[in-house]
Amino acid sequence: MEVIPAIDLLGGKCVRLYQGKYDRETIYSDDPIEVAEKWVRLGARRLHIVDLDGAKTGIPVNLEIIEAIRNSVPALIQVGGGIRSMETAITMKSIGIERVIVGTAAIEQTELIETVCDKFGPDYLVISMDARDEYVAVKGWLQNSDTPVHKLLEDMSELGVRRFMYTDITKDGTLTGPNFNAIGNLMKLTKHPIIAAGGISTLDHIKRLSSLGIEAAIVGKAIYTGDVDLADAVRLTDN
């Protein structure tokens, strides 16, 4: 299993939100590039970047910073937040982003999902299943949809998607532990790779997620607070 550090961008700064709430923001750095370089020095081979401004507005807002990070570190990079058009998907590809993470468009623009898969192949796309009470939230988690997580997984698999990310919004930024039951249930529903996020705060959480067979775990707040040492987490999952 791979451990992937998260870099959430809001107003050009590196932040963490509590349960995705924009009014519960903690700023951890004014220099996201420095943060990216730190995580790579500690062993990260991939970075998970979320443009929180883009998630809210529907178009990337922190593109210059994302590109600067891309040019500053050798790690692979996946980006989410505001990926809701083919133009944006093409732009991300052109600056060297390995994967784009799509949430809202998976609910509202299924034709975009098909087009991205056809043009770039399924490995370029990750569908983000951001759950609140087992239903998918959209538009930067500000709105709830009437689509259950399992239905989105099924529908997107039929369109050719081959990789998914699951976040329990109520766990995100809380350091209270992942929703292991929900993640385990999703693993029973698909053979496609699942990336899990939300609530990770100990190495034991990472061990337990690894035992479920997920492809990767996104670690956010815990590596900023020091609850999890990223280097230790990388070594743990490398063994």
Task: Check: CB of residue 166 under 8 Å from CB of residue 196.
Answer: yes
Can 130 be counted among the known catalytic residues?
yes
Place of tokens 């239903």: 135
123 among known catalytic residues: no
Query: Which residue among the candidates 51, 53, 130, 172 is catalytic per the annotation?
Result: 130
Question: At residue 49, what are phi and psi to the nearest 5 degrees?
Answer: -110, 130
Query: What's the rounded Cα separation, in Å, for the pair 186 and 116?
Result: 24
Beta carbons within 10 angstroms of residue 121's beta carbon: 11
Given the residues 8, 51, 53, 172, the one annotated as active site: 8
Q: Which token pair is 223?
A: 């590596």
4 beta partners? 218
What are the catalytic residues? 8, 130
